[in-house]
Structure 1
Amino acid sequence: MKTLGIFRHAKSDWNDARLRDFDRPLNKRGRKGAALMGLHIRDHAVRWNRILASPAVRAAQTIELAEEAAGESPAITWDRRLYLASSAILMDVLREQTTDPGTLMLVGHNPGLEDLIFDLVPDDRSSPMRDMVEEKFPTAAFAVIELDIASWSEITDGCGRLVHLTRPRDLDPELGPQIEF
Structure 2
Amino acid sequence: MRQLLLLRHAKSNWDDPTLNDHDRPLDAEGRAAATALRAAMLDLGLAPELILVSSSRRTRETLELLEPLAETTRVLRSSELYLASPAQILEQIAAIPAETRSVMVIAHNPGLHDLAMMLIGSHAISLNQPGTLRVARGFPTAALAEFSVAGPWPTLAQGARLVRFLTPHDVQQTVQNNA
The TM-score with structure 1 as length reference comes to: 0.88
Query: What is the letter of the counterpart of residue 142 of structure 1?
Result: L
The separation in 1 between residues aligned to 2:70 and 2:19, in whole angstroms, is 30
More helix as a share of residues: 2
- Following TM superposition, by how much is the alpha carbon of 1:97 offset from its aligned partner in structure 2, in angstroms? 1.0
The separation in 1 between residues aligned to 2:40 and 2:81, in whole angstroms, is 23
- Which residue of 133, 136, 142 corresponds with 1:134? 136
Q: Deviations over 1:124-160 (max 9, x none)?
A: 22324111011111000011011120x2122223x20
For structure 1, the residue ranges without an aligned partner over 5 or more in a row are 174-181
| Alignment match, 2:37 | 37
The 3-state SS of whatever aligns with 2:91 is helix
Number of residue pairs matched by the alignment: 169
| Alignment match, 1:106 | 105
Runs of 4+ in structure 1 over 6 Å off:
none
| Alignment match, 1:160 | 160
Query: What is the letter of the counterpart of residue 155 of structure 1?
Result: L
The answer to whether the 8 Å contact 2:3/2:146 transfers is: yes
The 3-state SS of whatever aligns with 1:91 is helix
1:83 corresponds to 2:87: no
The separation in 2 between residues aligned to 1:52 and 1:171, in whole angstroms, is 23
Query: What is the letter of the counterpart of residue 80 of structure 1?
Result: S
**Percent pairwise identity:** 33
The 3-state SS of whatever aligns with 1:122 is helix
| Alignment match, 2:176 | none
1:1-181 counterparts in 2 under 5 A?
A: 1-68=1-68, 72=70, 74-124=73-123, 125-126=126-127, 127-149=129-151, 151-157=152-158, 159-172=159-172
| Alignment match, 1:178 | none
The separation in 1 between residues aligned to 2:120 and 2:88, in whole angstroms, is 17
The 3-state SS of whatever aligns with 1:137 is coil
CA RMSD of aligned residues (A): 1.5
The answer to whether the 8 Å contact 1:100/1:152 transfers is: no
Query: What is the letter of the counterpart of residue 156 of structure 2?
Result: I
The 3-state SS of whatever aligns with 2:157 is coil
The separation in 1 between residues aligned to 2:120 and 2:137, in whole angstroms, is 15
